[in-house]
Structure 1
Amino acid sequence: MNPTPPPPGRNKFFGSTVFARGSYAEALRIGEILRKETVGGALLVIAAVIALVWANSPASDSYFALRDFTVGYEPWHLDLSMGAWAADGLLAIFFFLVGLELKREFVAGDLRQPSKSVVPVAAAVGGVALPAVIYALVNLSSPETLRGWAIPTATDIAFAVAVLAIIGSHLPSALRIFLLTLAVVDDLIAITIIAFFYSSDIQAAPLLLALIPLALYTFLAQKYRRFFGRHAAAAWLILLPLGAVTWALVHASGIHATVAGVLLGFAIPVIRSQASGGPGAGPGLAEIFEHRFRPFSAGMAVPIFAFFSAGVAVGGWEGLGSALADPVALGIILGLVLGKPIGIMGTTWVLTKATRASLDSSFKWIDVFGVALLAGIGFTVSLLVAELSFGNGSLHDDHAKVGILAASLIAALLATAVLRTRNRQYRATEELEKVNSDHDGVPDVYQERT
């Protein structure tokens, strides 16, 4: 029997299934990304712990001297401290991958279908808006601290996935894809916020000049996509210098240089060739670059940034208490621990009710709640926004870092409490999903859709 068509005036999402299982190819690709992010998350945590211990040790002066050591070329506005190089330079690589991943998802991934993308995108927006509102309400009486309203808006995918790995989660793949999409989308929202609200003294000349290498970079990447895909050395010798010049000019313009990373990522083609006509043509240049750059980003760029950004002299229990009493830290903790899960869960629930969609039968709302709690782990982008809001090394910046670390730890513990219980219930189901009775290389569960 054919399903009843949606009533007149209803949209295409009426009666759909939320978090329905995607394609097997997409599940394999997401699984590979999550494995790499798991390693990167572990390194990120290690780097942050080393920075915290060093910054609060008798040798703390050497840590801050290293972080503030300046190197670079002044005429290009590139005489930066080591901490600034990590925030402006290395994070541009991270956001380059954000641009690649987001474009890949919406051009050739399962999220190119509006019925599958609307829920995680809307949930990400809700998970950004409510934490910002909560922070603003806590700091409403202080214009100085109100500037940090965007700090609790972003989810750290590497940290969150590392927690999932420690838990040993057997969650359905659709929920893991949901977490990844949430993190990627709210990273894009965060970088948009940075571009519009945390850029100052915009210089038109270098910004306009940046369009020249960016346009040439885009033209070459689109025109010779197969050539660069086959010859890695050519990409390093041709595209990388153009990207570096674009980054330097954007940085000199006053716009945060990580915005250049996203633009460069968007410029890379996803589909292998225009003649292919669809996402089934094989790996495009975006996917090839993702494989090449993700290990460097997850294994070096983000951990080094965490090392230079997470180091804060707490000053013992008294200093910790003083930091947590600051409305900055309080707003961040409430925003990440409460705002994130409520915003994500609430938006998802409202959207499903508004469209009369149903939750996929393979899991429960408690699973969505556990992932929403996990999204409250804010680290990399939150630390970056804190530095942009208050200045690296300022009192409010130090208190913001304490708030970010505390909130991330609380969110991780709460998510662990919820998801650990669910793990045991999904273990048997996951084993059944791996059974391949017809031996064609694809689990049967991915072939049951009509």
Structure 2
Amino acid sequence: MYRVWNFLTNYSLLLILGAIIALIWANTNPSGYHHFVEFVIWDHAPIGHLHDGHRTLTLHYLVNDILMALFFAIAAKEVWEAVTLKSGSLRGKKAATPLFATAGGMIGPISVYLGLAMLMGSDTYDAVANGWAIPTATDIAFSYLVGRLVFGAGHPAVRFLLLLAIADDAAGLIILAIFYPSGDLAPEWLLMSFGAAIAVYLLFNWLPRRLDRGNQARPNSTMVRRSLGGLPYIIAGCISWYGFMMSGLHPALGLLPIVPAIPHADRAFGIFAEAEQYLHDLLNVMEHALKHPVEIILFFFGLLNAGVEFSSMGDATWLVLAGLIIGKPVGILIFGWIAAVPMRLGIPEGMRIIDLVVIGCVAAIGFTVSLFVASVAFDAGPVQDAAKMGALFSFAAAIISIVAGKVFRVEKHRL
């Protein structure tokens, strides 16, 4: 239990606290809460929401569109490692079945969400259809925590779940970029973002290493690291973020082009691995430096996004819940079985096919990313609030997962 509590405090406690405070505040003093969320920091600012022909920087915009870029950058770092490194968890045959299961874990929720919406009638479908991506999300931290509780830390299903969640994050980033722009698209501004990434990579990563060829002491790389540290990448990140904002893509994704440009070790131990703290390449050093600031950012994200009144429950609430709690397990089971049995890709030793159902229940905890998608899928109002309530209620998947573990006789594996 100590390990569970330690994990919770490291990755999730402040987020939960922010969400709880928001729920209490919104249901006891809704006008005060919404005034706080839309508090204007800077009117006629160079960045922010467009309002009456000028940009206004609000507290909500600061957290959701600017500071959450750091959260998505960390997620992108994990995906980048998993895909590109030789030891990456999403490379080779070992990742094939989890990747198929991930596809099922997205197609299943979308099918359930849109299918039920169509059955509710055209008016309901038109009102909620843009939220189809909300139930595709899997909250990595909470799912990993519940997975350890259900399967035990040493069970291969936990590793399978983690691979699935990382792949889900990668797909989620793509969906946000393509299907949920923050304004009118002006893709020419992306030249600024990718230009900044290419320039900082060539000047401060590739060139020093090129000059150091054959020299074990690596004087140029060391000089650049000691004298500049992460400053060039921070500046490039700001330029890239601005390019994303002006392009119409969601600016919270603005740091993604910079992540691959930062010097990185040729190996990684994996997300949540304690050994990661012993890697001293610049990308890992920057990630470790961001850990506590991002925890605080997630507190404010929960505070500014989870404040919905219980009376706001509606069709979108039940559609999001159905997509997560029904669509995720069914989709993961079907696609995982197809990959493991007919396609003969197999599953990890020590796992059973029926464990895919339990993994699907655990992966149905959407929370953080589902809340974020709900905030960009709908304009502020009853439908957005109802969808957010569904994302919050997805915590019920934790209880369902524990029950499913008992029903399907999951045997816990300790480390």
Q: TM-score, normalised by structure 1?
A: 0.75
Aligned: 1:217 with 2:217: no
| Mapped partners of 1:228, 1:385: distance in 2 | 42
| Mapped partners of 2:140, 2:321: distance in 1 | 18
Label 1:110 to 1:191 Cα distance change in 2 as closer, same or farther (>3 A): closer
Cα deviation, residue 196, structure 1: 1.3
| Mapped partners of 2:155, 2:62: distance in 1 | 36
Percent sequence identity over aligned pairs: 28
Cα deviation, residue 204, structure 1: 4.1
Aligned: 1:311 with 2:307: yes
2:109 maps to which residue? 131
* 1:107 maps to which of 84, 91, 95: 84
Label 1:357 to 1:245 Cα distance change in 2 as closer, same or farther (>3 A): closer
1:194 maps to which residue? 176
| Mapped partners of 2:194, 2:408: distance in 1 | 50
Is the 2:150–2:402 Cα contact (8 Å) retained in structure 1? no
Label 1:56 to 1:100 Cα distance change in 2 as closer, same or farther (>3 A): same
Is the 2:102–2:167 Cα contact (8 Å) retained in structure 1? yes
**1:397-447 CA deviation, whole Å, 9 max, x = no partner?**
0111111112x12211111223468898435xx36xxxxxxxxxxxxxxxx
Aligned: 1:331 with 2:319: yes
Aligned partner of residue 101 in structure 1, secondary structure: helix
Label 1:169 to 1:43 Cα distance change in 2 as closer, same or farther (>3 A): farther
Aligned partner of residue 80 in structure 1, secondary structure: strand
Label 1:262 to 1:211 Cα distance change in 2 as closer, same or farther (>3 A): closer
Cα deviation, residue 342, structure 1: 1.1
**1:1-52 CA deviation, whole Å, 9 max, x = no partner?**
xxxxxxxxxxxxxxxxxxxxxxxxxxxxxxx9x9767622232222111110
1:403 maps to which residue? 390
Label 1:82 to 1:75 Cα distance change in 2 as closer, same or farther (>3 A): closer
Label 1:176 to 1:285 Cα distance change in 2 as closer, same or farther (>3 A): farther
Cα deviation, residue 85, structure 1: 1.8
* 2:38 maps to which of 62, 65, 68: 68
Aligned partner of residue 390 in structure 2, secondary structure: helix
Is the 2:243–2:254 Cα contact (8 Å) retained in structure 1? no
2:75 maps to which residue? 98
| Mapped partners of 1:228, 1:129: distance in 2 | 49
| Mapped partners of 1:424, 1:341: distance in 2 | 16
2:286 maps to which residue? 289
1:270 maps to which residue? 264
Cα RMSD over matched residues? 3.1
2:241 maps to which residue? 247
Is the 2:39–2:59 Cα contact (8 Å) retained in structure 1? yes
1:301 maps to which residue? 297
Cα deviation, residue 202, structure 1: 1.2
Is the 2:140–2:162 Cα contact (8 Å) retained in structure 1? yes
**1:306-345 CA deviation, whole Å, 9 max, x = no partner?**
211101122xxxx26xx24x2x222211100011111112
Is the 2:193–2:244 Cα contact (8 Å) retained in structure 1? yes
1:183 maps to which residue? 165
Is the 1:107–1:270 Cα contact (8 Å) retained in structure 2? no
Deviating above 6 A after TM superposition, structure 1's stretches of 4 or more consecutive aligned residues are 420-424
Residue correspondences, number: 377
Aligned: 1:256 with 2:227: no
Label 1:416 to 1:230 Cα distance change in 2 as closer, same or farther (>3 A): farther
Aligned: 1:426 with 2:412: yes
* 1:351 maps to which of 317, 329, 339: 339
Is there any run of 5+ residues in structure 2 with no aligned partner, and where? 49-55, 210-220, 268-278
- Mapping 1:20-35, distance limit 5 Å: none
Cα deviation, residue 154, structure 1: 0.7
2:24 maps to which residue? 53
Is the 2:147–2:158 Cα contact (8 Å) retained in structure 1? no
Cα deviation, residue 61, structure 1: 2.6
